[in-house]
Amino acid sequence: MEKVPHRYLRFHFLTRGALAAIPLAIAMLASGCSARKPSAVTAFSPERLAVMRAPFAASGHYYYELRLNEKEIVLCHSGVDIMHYKAIGLSVGLPRAVWFTRGSYDQWIGTAWGEAKLDPPLVIERVRIIPGNQSTLPTPDEAGLVPPTMEELTPVPASYKILFPGSRCIQVDLQGEITGKQKPVSRARIWWHDFLQGLGVRKADGLRLRLQVDAKSGASLYRTFQPSPEFLVIP
């Protein structure tokens, strides 16, 4: 029998090992990164929806409904759908450290999430009028100094969070070009923040919903965000 050189055997073993590790690594990465298409969620009965909606409708304030099946956030008032913000993608996240997921889902569907806050907070860069400066005032024939639009006064980040007490969070990622003013966002900083939360160095979101929204809808949601609104999460 021909003797196989020792060195060849070692090379062969290493090659096979490396080749086997590649699909394993890809599978591990894919399991953490991919957002597969969510399957339909069981709908609530109209009776249950009516009972849930009535107190919010009667509050006299704007509130939001997060409709999981439709993948959208809807601004509502008095039980009326005022504006729909459609999402392209929706996924649910839990903190994890070195591929080990921490925490578990609590009963968050069919409940109200209150006192929502934007992160980063909404800032309107207001213009101060100089009294008596006639040259800036418009006339029916002359535009004068045209004031900036709300889109130009309200910078929007490409990714923002809606935070709720009880460490729940909705992360809104904007896809596409934002019209108007943008708030610069460092992706590295977001990653680092998530990394520290995953490790447990910083307080993590117990539950994070990630919505991918087209830039127009996402910016509109941010700019018209109501103060401390309630979110009704329904299937």
Instruction: Kindly identify the residues of this chain, within the stretch 162-191, that bind other proteins according to CB under 8 A.
Output: 191
Closest to other proteins by CB, 1 vs 46, is 46
Torsion of CA 130, 135, 138, 143, to 10 degrees: -120
Q: Does 17 sit near other proteins (CB under 8 A)?
A: no
Q: Residue holding tokens 């209150």?
A: 114
**Contact flags string 132-151 toward other proteins, x per CB under 8 A:** xxx--xx-x--x--xxxxxx
Q: How far is the CB of 221 from other proteins (least distance, A)?
A: 10
> For residue 209, which of 11, 28, 12, 41 has the smallest C-alpha distance?
41
Distance set, CA 94 to CA 24, 58, 181, 223, 229 (Å): 22, 34, 32, 28, 24
Q: How far is the CB of 188 from other proteins (least distance, A)?
A: 12
Closest to other proteins by CB, 164 vs 220, is 220
- Peptide bond before residue 55 is cis, with ω within 30 degrees of 0: no
User: What CA–CA distance (Å, rounded) separates 128 from 51?
Assistant: 46
Q: Residue holding tokens 């929806």?
A: 49
Q: How far is the CB of 16 from other proteins (least distance, A)?
A: 18
Site size with other proteins, rule: CB under 8 A: 88
Where in 77-106 is the site for other proteins (CB under 8 A)?
A: 77-83, 90-101, 105-106
Q: Does 7 sit near other proteins (CB under 8 A)?
A: no
Q: Which amino acid is at 44?
A: F
Q: How far is the CB of 222 from other proteins (least distance, A)?
A: 10
Q: Does 48 sit near other proteins (CB under 8 A)?
A: yes
What is the token pair recorded at 194? 């998530």
**Contact flags string 104-123 toward other proteins, x per CB under 8 A:** -xxxxxxx------------
User: What CA–CA distance (Å, rounded) separates 6 from 29?
Assistant: 35
Where in 203-222 is the site for other proteins (CB under 8 A)?
A: 205, 208, 210, 220
Q: Give the burial string for 154-167 (b: 16+ CB within 10 Å, else e).
A: bbbbbbbbbbbeee
Coil, strand or helix: which one is 98?
A: coil
Q: Does 50 sit near other proteins (CB under 8 A)?
A: yes
Q: Does 67 sit near other proteins (CB under 8 A)?
A: no
Q: How far is the CB of 9 from other proteins (least distance, A)?
A: 20
Out of 14, 20, 51, 123, name the contact with other proteins by CB under 8 A.
Answer: 51
Out of 14, 20, 30, 54, name the contact with other proteins by CB under 8 A.
Answer: 54
